[in-house]
Amino acid sequence: MSSPARLAVAALLVAATVTAGCGGRAPVTVTITIHYSAFDLTDVHVPVGVPVTFVLVNEDPIDHEWLVGDAAFHEKHRTGTHEAHGDVPNEVNIPALETRRTTITFDEPGVLQFICHLPAHEAYGMVGTLTVGG
Amino acid sequence: MRRPWLSLAAATAALLITAAPALACGGLIGPNGAVNLLRTTTFAGYHNGVEHYVTAFEFAGGGGAFGSITPLPDIPTKVERGGDWTLQRLVLETDPAVREFAFDALLAAPAAGEAEVLLETTVDALDITILRGGGDEVGLWAKNHGFRLPPDAPEVLDFYADRSPIFMAAAFDADAAVERGQAIGDGTPVHLAIPTDNPWVPLRILGLGKSSAETVQADVYLLTDEKPALLPKAGAFTESEGLILDHSAAASDALLADLRSDAGMEWVPSEAWLTKVVIDASPAELTFDLAIDASGARNPSPVDAGFAPFGPTPAPRPPMALYLALAALLVVALPIGLERAARAASSGRPPLAGA
């Protein structure tokens, strides 16, 4: 199966998982794996008002980030000066060959992006879309 | 298009490192003004089963620390300062346009999960470490030692480690270079002696960290006992200059004598073949290395070129066509044999052999 096809199927699976969790308002878990500086899921759908736990698996021997937010948020981080993230649920550093978890409840529907803002990583393709609700 | 001065430019390269910690947010690192990209020039000589790999790290000014990681075909038995003019003399041999300037100038002047450290040494302001490990292990070692690896590094390191888990990490201390009185443009040549079956030259790593809009331009000099067979062949790309066989001829006596007179170059034979390959390709095109068969068999290895995966040969698949043919034969022959046997039994004669 081609890579885009795999991603599409993976996105559908995530959406299905999330949908199944919506009925009972049960927590939702989404696992995103990073390999060769690429997110294996680039189109993730989550519900509004439900805690979503993201399991971020870094299979690379280099550090990565997973920062989720709107366009203004990402513009700030493109030119920001943070040396590290970690205290904010939507700003996660994932050290080389490690896994991090973060739980976020999205209160409003919308379309966000998750991006690794380490130098050249966004240009390399480490960008994904997170659709809340809808 | 020829690039007279770029002919002195990088042939082996390079994962940039800096002494400063990587910042989480983008936009701060870029081309750090305090850290200047070093350029390297590469020569691979092969004689008596030993690859002599000479590369130079050029001081481009600035401060801090930076360096490179170079994949190697095998474990070097010697790492030392290279001679003073080998690389420059090779340039003069193939690019006389820079003869006067260049030759005059040269005459004037492990934690857990990390790769295993096989050798550590210092050459001028260069701290050199020979590593053995998989892509993850080498990447982790580099990260923990201040190397700032670009996002394509994990895949590229695996590409090499799958074939040869030996790497050279060279960290250049620009502050130390200044203290040593090194001027901008001064090169530090490093000479590695690597016993190996056939030499190969890493090319794919030249595109490391480069965007698709950039071009990889490099020169590789080869000195072999016989005219080498190369894979891929020069001119492999039709839409770009790609891989160019810029020079291929018996090395002149004057060149060999000059090379042999340089420090550490006494191994240079009395007769040899000089090849110069120019690389001018996009990073997307440069997905291979340069495999060299210097044995005369003219059979460069697809594995060494990165075209075939390294590893045990897959078990041979069952010869299905043969099985089907045998089954068909049985289907046809068995009834005939049974019929003949029955006839023989009824006539009192033995059945025909092989029927």
DSSP string, A56-124: EEE-SSS-EEEEEE-HHHHHHHHT---S---SBTTEEEE-TT-EEEEEEE--S-EEEEEE--STTHHHH
Distance from the first to the final alpha carbon of chain B: 74
Reported as a pLDDT band with limits 50, 70 and 90, residue B228 is very high
pLDDT of residue B21: 27
The answer to which of A1-15, B270-284, B326-340 has the lowest mean pLDDT is A1-15
- Rounded percentage of chain B residues whose pLDDT exceeds 90: 24
pLDDT of residue B113: 85
Q: Computed from CA positions of residues B254, B194, B197, B9, in that sequence, does the dihedral angle turn out positive or negative?
A: negative
pLDDT of residue B225: 93
Cβ distance of B22 and A121 shorter than 8 Å: no
- Rounded percentage of chain A residues whose pLDDT exceeds 70: 75
Q: Are A67 and A73 in contact (CB under 8 A)?
A: yes
Cβ distance of B139 and A120 shorter than 8 Å: no
Boundaries of every domain in chain B:
6-293, 318-355
- Rounded percentage of chain B residues whose pLDDT exceeds 70: 63
Cβ distance of B143 and A85 shorter than 8 Å: no
| Residue A3: its H or E element | helix A3-22
Instruction: Name the residue facing B154 among A61, A77, A80 (closest C-beta).
Output: A61
Average pLDDT, chain B: 72
Cβ distance of B27 and A78 shorter than 8 Å: yes
The residue among A118, A121, A127 with the most chain B CBs within 10 A of its CB, best to mutate, is A118
State the average pLDDT over residues B97-107: 40
The residue among A35, A57, A58, A62 with the most chain B CBs within 10 A of its CB, best to mutate, is A62
Q: Is the pLDDT reported for residue A39 higher than 70?
A: yes
Cβ distance of B25 and A77 shorter than 8 Å: yes
Give whichever of B95-104, B128-137, B345-354 has the largest mean pLDDT: B128-137
Reported as a pLDDT band with limits 50, 70 and 90, residue B64 is low
Closest residue in B to A126 (Cα) is B151
pLDDT in tens, B161-174: 988 999 998 887 77
Q: Is the pLDDT reported for residue B243 higher than 90?
A: no
Cβ distance of B22 and A60 shorter than 8 Å: no
pLDDT in tens, B179-213: 777 765 566 788 999 998 878 888 888 888 888 88
Tell me the C-alpha distance between B128 and B149, whole Å: 17
Q: Are B58 and B47 in contact (CB under 8 A)?
A: no
Q: Is the pLDDT reported for residue B105 higher than 70?
A: no
Provide the angle, in degrees to the nearest 10, between the axes of the packed helices B253-260 and B86-94: 170
pLDDT of residue B106: 39
pLDDT in tens, B115-150: 999 999 988 888 889 999 999 999 999 988 888 889
- Chain B residues whose C-beta sits inside 8 Å of any chain A C-beta: 21-30, 113, 135-140, 142-143, 148-155, 157-158, 209, 211
Q: Is the pLDDT reported for residue B109 higher than 50?
A: no
Cβ distance of A78 and B25 shorter than 8 Å: yes
Cβ distance of A117 and B137 shorter than 8 Å: no
- Short-list B93, B75, B74, CA closest to B85: B93
State the average pLDDT over residues A89-113: 96
Closest residue in A to B159 (Cα) is A36
Contacts of A85 in chain B (CB under 8 A): 24
Superfamily of A3-132 according to CATH: Cupredoxins -  blue copper proteins (2.60.40.420)
| Residue B345: its H or E element | helix B320-347
pLDDT in tens, B295-337: 888 889 888 888 876 554 444 344 444 444 445 555 545 455 5
Q: Which residues contact B134 (CB under 8 A, 6 or more apart)?
A: B115, B158, B161, B165
Q: Is the pLDDT reported for residue A9 higher than 80?
A: no
